Amino acid sequence: MESVHESAPAAKILVGVSLDARASSQLLSWAVTVAARPNDTVIALHVLVRKAEKRLKSERSSLRQAQASVISAVGEFAGVCQTKRVKLEAKVRTCSSVGEGLADEAALVEANLLVLRRNSFEIVRYCLKNAPEGCSIVGVDVDVDVDVQALPRKDGDVDSLTYDDNNSSSSSRLTYKDNNNNMVNALSPLRKFFGSTSKRERRHSSSESICEKESPRGVLEGPEAASTPADDCSSSSSSVVGRRSHTNNWRRLSVARLFFPLPPSPEDSISMEGDACSSYAEEVKPSWRCFSYEEISRATNKFHPDNLVGRGGFAEVFKGSLRSGQNVAVKRLAKGEGDQLKEKEFLVELGILGHVRHPNTANLIGCCIENGLHLVFDLSCNGSLASALHSKHGRVLEWSARYKIAIGIARGLHYLHKCCRHRIIHRDIKASNVLLGADFEPQISDFGLAKWLPKQWTHHSVIPIEGTFGYLAPEYFMHGIVDEKTDVFSFGVLLLEIVTGRRPADTSKQSLLVWAKPLMQSGRIAELADPKLEGKYDMDQMQRLVVTASYCVRQSSIWRPPMSKVLGLLTNDRDSVEAQIRSIPECQVDEMDDYNLATDCSLDY
């Protein structure tokens, strides 16, 4: 029977989302990671009640807030949807009531499944009565862990649903009657996959979790049982078939109405590490808004070329000033071929930035989806680290500022890897992606290539290879393997760039690493130092940066330290640093002899 279900036509899954970001994220997580299969379409819909329309005619902030909320919610799942080959859409519509809007949209798009919050009683009641035939309704309780329940169908429906408790939490099952009046086991045992009433049951459920081969590179955790990496699976094929039958049973229920709790989320058990995380772990990202195109066009003088401050492969950045006097940087998605990929990168960046809050990461203040896709940030008054280091006409970046920048970047990366709500791998750490604010406080920017990494994954496999030549870790450059150590390697190269003032691949086409290797090995610090500093630097700090860089750029990721140790090497007192150095294992071979990036420097820098 499983082959029949696997060959079923693509489904449309409509998810009713609110302005509650956490609840919307949980509903979408269930829809994407549990219900959806390849080629399905997940549609996130927010409904504005029509009675507010008069106010919207004079003030459209409510509409823009709704647009921003939905975009942020779906942006978090752009990467996993692309990997799983699931289409993802975001919509905002007005209607006389939320329930009517959801039911009408379900009919309009011919939705097969409507996902709602179980405790939205009025909305659920309306949809039960008015949802189109052929559309199943799933209610997910995002607040409390309750037993699976089946609500009765409206009078006159062909199928009927019953809930069989049997006085045993372990045997709870949901059944329905098909057109031949035969009792069919629909979801049994549901609680094993969708939440348990005891910790013991949850541990048992987690131990029996089976991964989906269809999404081996999903990068955002969903339900615990749905986020195990495929590469690490050793379960039998029969177990996988059994799991698929559970995760897709809603398709067998025709127009049945299902209600069950959301499974425990991995993020509920994330433990923050160390004092470096405590200041930011529980902070909530301030609300950001959706700008009108008129606002950002006025701010940038209609995107005048004189206001262009940066250009990348997917976007252009313009400086500007809002009416309030706030200086901003507007990142505009470049037009041209590959718009679908660019939009995916845009949504990924928006989704990640919506969950990032740290002094050493870029501060998103809003977006605009009119006439293209735009992100709006605070303007960094001192430009990028690349311009500060390599500008031929600007003033020399003093050593004190360089050391401060190095520590700030390390703190930002440590936050992304260990302290953020999700593990985030940036994948494109380089000088031009480090912005310098007031007092040269660094901010890591450009999260277009960033990847979510579920906490139980060891690494992520990526194709194609993206990033900037000269900063790419060997395992990523050669095999597409991505984890925290990928960023550690890039940071090591960046440290050498800060110390030496040289680009990773200079005009002589000699790799910075190849040039620096003999100098680091022999301890010739003076020859490594940027000549523009004219010897004006702190020797202890210089040695710290060089030693730290030498650990970070080890060829094998196994021998590189995590960012927690990197940060300690840069900030702790000398005794602590010496102890940390002793705790870092020595390489078993002279790996740098085998690492030569000087063979091809023809890639764009």
Of the candidates 524, 545, 513, the one whose C-alpha atom is nearest the C-alpha of residue 400 is 545
Of the candidates 135, 146, 106, 113, the one whose C-alpha atom is nearest the C-alpha of residue 32 is 113
Q: What angle do CA 346, 352, 356 make, to 5 degrees?
A: 135
SS3 state of residue 31? helix
C-alpha span between 544 and 573 (Å, rounded): 11
Quote the pLDDT of residue 7.
Answer: 52
> What residue ranges do the domains of the chain occupy?
2-269, 289-378, 385-594
Mean pLDDT of the region 397-417 = 97
C-alpha span between 96 and 75 (Å, rounded): 28
Residues flagged as binding site for ATP:
331
Question: What's the CATH number of domain 2-269, 3.40.190.80, 3.40.50.620, 3.40.50.150, 3.20.20.70?
Answer: 3.40.50.620
Percent of the chain with pLDDT strictly greater than 70: 62
User: Spelled out in words, what is the top-level CATH class assigned to the domain 385-594?
Assistant: mainly alpha
Q: Is the pLDDT of residue 460 over 80?
A: no
Which band of pLDDT confidence, cut at 50, 70 and 90, is reported for residue 355? confident
Which band of pLDDT confidence, cut at 50, 70 and 90, is reported for residue 193? very low
Quote the pLDDT of residue 117.
Answer: 85
C-alpha span between 474 and 557 (Å, rounded): 9
Per residue in 48-80, pLDDT (tens digit) is 886 644 554 544 667 767 777 787 778 778 778
Residue-wise DSSP of 460-519: EE-SS--S-TTT--HHHHHH-EESHHHHHHHHHHHHHHHHH---SB-TT--BHHHHHHHH
Which band of pLDDT confidence, cut at 50, 70 and 90, is reported for residue 442? very high
Quote the pLDDT of residue 55.
Answer: 55
C-alpha span between 89 and 95 (Å, rounded): 19
Mean pLDDT of the region 265-284 = 47
Q: Is the pLDDT of residue 159 over 50?
A: no
Of the candidates 179, 178, 176, the one whose C-alpha atom is nearest the C-alpha of residue 187 is 176
Q: Kindly give the residue spans of alpha helices, DSSP state H, lying in 10-153.
A: 21-30, 53-58, 61-75, 78-84, 98-109, 121-130
Q: Is the pLDDT of residue 278 over 60?
A: no
SS3 state of residue 435? strand
Q: Which CATH superfamily is domain 289-378 in?
A: Phosphorylase Kinase; domain 1 (3.30.200.20)
At 482, phi and psi to the nearest 5?
-125, 130
Quote the pLDDT of residue 456.
Answer: 57
Q: Is the pLDDT of residue 184 over 80?
A: no
Residues flagged as binding site:
331
What does R_g of the chain's alpha carbons equal in angstroms?
27
* Range with the poorest average pLDDT among 214-218, 307-311, 500-504: 214-218
Per residue in 495-532, pLDDT (tens digit) is 999 999 999 987 666 789 989 988 988 888 889 999 99
Quote the pLDDT of residue 448.
Answer: 82
* Range with the poorest average pLDDT among 115-129, 131-145, 433-447: 131-145
What sign does the dihedral 466-467-470-473 (CA atoms) show? negative
Mean pLDDT of the region 41-47 = 91
Q: Which of 158-162, 274-278, 473-477 has the highest mean pLDDT?
A: 473-477
- C-alpha dihedral over 505, 511, 512, 515, to 10 degrees? -140
Of the candidates 265, 349, 381, the one whose C-alpha atom is nearest the C-alpha of residue 25 is 265
Per residue in 533-544, pLDDT (tens digit) is 999 999 999 999
Adjacent-strand bridge partners of 425 = 451
Mean pLDDT of the region 22-29 = 85
Mean pLDDT of the region 575-604 = 50
C-alpha span between 14 and 276 (Å, rounded): 40
Q: Is the pLDDT of residue 398 over 90?
A: yes
Report whether 415 contacts 358 (CB < 8 A). Answer: yes
* Range with the poorest average pLDDT among 55-69, 217-231, 352-366: 217-231
Quote the pLDDT of residue 288.
Answer: 76
Q: Is the pLDDT of residue 596 over 70?
A: no
Quote the pLDDT of residue 367.
Answer: 87
The CA distances from residue 293 to 347, 371, 372, 443, 455, in Å, are: 18, 7, 9, 26, 38
Quote the pLDDT of residue 136.
Answer: 86
Mean pLDDT of the region 590-605 = 38
C-alpha span between 104 and 126 (Å, rounded): 11
Mean pLDDT, the chain, as a whole number?
71
What positions carry a catalytic annotation? 428
Report whether 339 contacts 372 (CB < 8 A). Answer: no
Sorted by sequence, the CB contacts under 8 Å of residue 420 that are 6+ apart come out as: 355, 356, 358
